[in-house]
Amino acid sequence: MTLYMTPRHRSRMAHAYLSDRVARHVGIHSNVHSDVHVPVDVKEEPDAFVIIATLPGLEADDLNIEILENIVDISGEFKKEGEEDEEYLRSERAVGNFHRRLRFATKLEAADAEASLKNGILTLRIAKVEEERPKTIKVKTK
Protein backbone atom coordinates (compact mmCIF):
# COMPACT_ATOMS: atom_id res chain seq x y z
CA MET A 1 0.00 0.00 0.00
CA THR A 2 1.30 3.45 -0.90
CA LEU A 3 0.35 6.51 1.09
CA TYR A 4 0.63 9.88 -0.61
CA MET A 5 0.96 12.90 1.64
CA THR A 6 0.15 16.38 0.42
CA PRO A 7 2.24 19.30 1.74
CA ARG A 8 -0.80 20.51 3.70
CA HIS A 9 -1.29 17.10 5.35
CA ARG A 10 2.44 16.87 6.11
CA SER A 11 2.31 20.31 7.75
CA ARG A 12 -0.66 19.33 9.94
CA MET A 13 1.04 16.08 10.95
CA ALA A 14 4.22 17.96 11.92
CA HIS A 15 2.21 20.45 14.02
CA ALA A 16 0.30 17.65 15.81
CA TYR A 17 3.54 15.76 16.46
CA LEU A 18 5.21 18.90 17.86
CA SER A 19 2.22 19.68 20.12
CA ASP A 20 2.24 16.12 21.51
CA ARG A 21 6.02 16.21 22.03
CA VAL A 22 5.82 19.49 23.94
CA ALA A 23 2.91 18.18 26.04
CA ARG A 24 4.81 15.00 26.90
CA HIS A 25 7.86 17.08 27.83
CA VAL A 26 5.92 19.01 30.48
CA GLY A 27 4.16 15.86 31.68
CA ILE A 28 0.72 16.11 30.05
CA HIS A 29 -0.55 12.98 28.35
CA SER A 30 -3.88 13.03 26.55
CA ASN A 31 -6.09 10.15 25.51
CA VAL A 32 -8.97 10.79 23.13
CA HIS A 33 -11.70 8.16 22.78
CA SER A 34 -14.79 9.86 21.43
CA ASP A 35 -17.00 10.56 18.46
CA VAL A 36 -16.09 14.26 18.47
CA HIS A 37 -12.67 15.87 18.93
CA VAL A 38 -12.67 18.70 21.47
CA PRO A 39 -9.62 20.97 21.24
CA VAL A 40 -7.98 21.97 24.52
CA ASP A 41 -5.20 24.32 25.58
CA VAL A 42 -3.30 23.72 28.81
CA LYS A 43 -1.34 26.38 30.68
CA GLU A 44 0.83 25.85 33.73
CA GLU A 45 0.96 28.40 36.51
CA PRO A 46 3.25 28.09 39.54
CA ASP A 47 0.43 26.74 41.72
CA ALA A 48 -2.12 25.39 39.20
CA PHE A 49 -2.96 24.19 35.71
CA VAL A 50 -5.52 25.94 33.51
CA ILE A 51 -7.38 23.93 30.87
CA ILE A 52 -9.30 25.80 28.18
CA ALA A 53 -11.66 23.78 25.95
CA THR A 54 -13.81 24.87 23.02
CA LEU A 55 -17.35 23.53 23.47
CA PRO A 56 -19.71 25.53 21.23
CA GLY A 57 -23.41 25.22 21.99
CA LEU A 58 -23.03 23.21 25.19
CA GLU A 59 -24.62 24.11 28.50
CA ALA A 60 -23.03 23.47 31.89
CA ASP A 61 -25.49 20.59 32.49
CA ASP A 62 -24.18 18.81 29.36
CA LEU A 63 -20.67 18.53 30.84
CA ASN A 64 -19.10 16.04 33.21
CA ILE A 65 -15.72 16.86 34.78
CA GLU A 66 -13.89 14.41 37.04
CA ILE A 67 -10.51 14.84 38.74
CA LEU A 68 -8.70 11.95 40.38
CA GLU A 69 -5.10 12.38 41.62
CA ASN A 70 -3.33 13.52 38.42
CA ILE A 71 -6.05 12.74 35.83
CA VAL A 72 -8.71 15.13 34.51
CA ASP A 73 -11.65 13.67 32.55
CA ILE A 74 -13.89 16.02 30.58
CA SER A 75 -16.85 14.41 28.83
CA GLY A 76 -20.26 15.26 27.46
CA GLU A 77 -22.43 15.14 24.39
CA PHE A 78 -23.13 17.44 21.48
CA LYS A 79 -26.81 16.87 20.74
CA LYS A 80 -28.37 17.25 17.33
CA GLU A 81 -30.90 20.03 17.16
CA GLY A 82 -34.15 19.54 15.31
CA GLU A 83 -35.90 16.33 14.33
CA GLU A 84 -34.12 13.05 13.59
CA ASP A 85 -35.57 12.67 10.09
CA GLU A 86 -34.62 16.16 8.88
CA GLU A 87 -32.45 16.17 5.78
CA TYR A 88 -29.63 18.66 5.42
CA LEU A 89 -27.85 19.76 2.28
CA ARG A 90 -24.69 20.00 4.37
CA SER A 91 -24.08 18.98 7.99
CA GLU A 92 -20.70 19.88 9.55
CA ARG A 93 -21.49 20.66 13.18
CA ALA A 94 -20.23 18.20 15.76
CA VAL A 95 -22.77 15.66 16.99
CA GLY A 96 -22.08 12.88 19.46
CA ASN A 97 -20.17 12.06 22.61
CA PHE A 98 -16.78 13.45 23.50
CA HIS A 99 -14.25 12.44 26.14
CA ARG A 100 -10.89 14.03 26.87
CA ARG A 101 -8.56 12.56 29.47
CA LEU A 102 -5.53 14.58 30.49
CA ARG A 103 -2.86 13.01 32.70
CA PHE A 104 -0.48 15.39 34.50
CA ALA A 105 2.94 14.69 35.97
CA THR A 106 1.89 16.20 39.32
CA LYS A 107 -1.06 15.45 41.60
CA LEU A 108 -4.01 17.83 41.50
CA GLU A 109 -6.19 19.29 44.26
CA ALA A 110 -9.73 18.41 43.14
CA ALA A 111 -11.36 20.27 46.03
CA ASP A 112 -9.90 23.59 44.82
CA ALA A 113 -10.91 23.19 41.15
CA GLU A 114 -12.92 25.99 39.54
CA ALA A 115 -14.79 25.71 36.24
CA SER A 116 -16.64 28.28 34.18
CA LEU A 117 -18.40 28.06 30.80
CA LYS A 118 -18.89 31.28 28.85
CA ASN A 119 -19.67 31.65 25.14
CA GLY A 120 -18.77 28.01 24.50
CA ILE A 121 -15.37 28.24 26.18
CA LEU A 122 -14.75 26.05 29.24
CA THR A 123 -12.06 27.34 31.59
CA LEU A 124 -10.99 24.87 34.26
CA ARG A 125 -8.41 25.87 36.89
CA ILE A 126 -7.04 23.07 39.05
CA ALA A 127 -4.55 23.71 41.84
CA LYS A 128 -1.51 21.52 42.29
CA VAL A 129 -1.24 19.56 45.54
CA GLU A 130 0.66 21.65 48.11
CA GLU A 131 3.77 19.42 48.17
CA GLU A 132 3.98 19.61 44.36
CA ARG A 133 4.14 23.41 44.27
CA PRO A 134 7.51 25.11 43.93
CA LYS A 135 9.00 26.37 47.19
CA THR A 136 10.83 29.66 47.60
CA ILE A 137 13.64 29.67 50.14
CA LYS A 138 14.94 32.95 51.54
CA VAL A 139 18.67 33.17 51.96
CA LYS A 140 19.71 34.95 55.16
CA THR A 141 22.84 36.96 55.53
CA LYS A 142 24.69 37.39 58.81
The pLDDT tens digits for 68-81 are: 989 999 999 988 77
Supply the pLDDT for residue 117: 94
Q: Report the pLDDT value the prediction gives residue 131, as an integer from 0 to 100.
A: 77
> How far apart, in whole angstroms, are the C-alpha atoms of residue 76 and residue 74?
7
Note the pLDDT of residue 9. 54
8 Å CB contact between 23 and 40: no
Instruction: Report the pLDDT value the prediction gives residue 28, as an integer from 0 to 100.
Output: 53
At 80 the pLDDT is 79
Domains by residue range for the chain, with CATH: 29-80+95-132 (2.60.40.790)
In the predicted model, residues of the chain with pLDDT beneath 70 are: 1-34, 83-84, 132-134
In DSSP terms, which residues pair with 66 in a beta bridge? 73
Q: Which residues contact 51 (CB under 8 A, 6 or more apart)?
A: 40, 41, 42, 72, 74, 102, 122, 123, 124, 125, 126
With contact defined as beta carbons under 8 Å apart, do 50 and 64 qualify? no
For residue 86, the model assigns a pLDDT of: 80
